[in-house]
Amino acid sequence: MAKDYEYGRSQEEKVARSLRARGASVEVSPGSKGAADLKVEFPGGTKWRLQVKSTRSGGPASPTSKDLGRLKQSATKSRATPVVAKVSQGKITYESARSGRTLIPPKGKK
């Protein structure tokens, strides 16, 4: 179990680094029990609450319906967009937790 947690945490850090490179302010959740793994704010004011999902195998994992509900509720309270970041084979994709649409992080100014 500890190995799975370490792997998941390393993937959260990878997503955080990627978003920071785009100029976003990123706060990584201190533990794994919260609704969102990352709290992100882009320079233009756009806010995301992110749940990071990853697997070592081919396809990315998906959050449970309970996790999605908690993420959406948390995002609504903070006026943010609930987003699922899927990490698979070194690539990160972002999806709206509400519509399932693919999202592209806003370009930031450094």
Cα–Cα distance between 52 and 97 in angstroms, integer? Answer: 11
Residue 108, domain member (yes or no): no
Residue 109, domain member (yes or no): no
Q: Helices then strands (H, E): number in the chain?
A: 2, 6
Residue 40, domain member (yes or no): yes
Residue 110, domain member (yes or no): no
Residue 21, domain member (yes or no): yes
Strand order from edge to edge, sheet including 25-28? 25-28, 38-41, 47-54, 81-88, 91-96, 102-103
Full-model pTM: 0.88
Q: Domain of 40?
A: 2-103
pLDDT tens digits for range 75-108: 999 999 999 999 988 889 999 999 999 999 987 6
CATH number of 57's domain:
3.40.1350.10
Mean pLDDT score across all residues of the chain: 88
Q: What's the number of domains the chain is made of?
A: 1
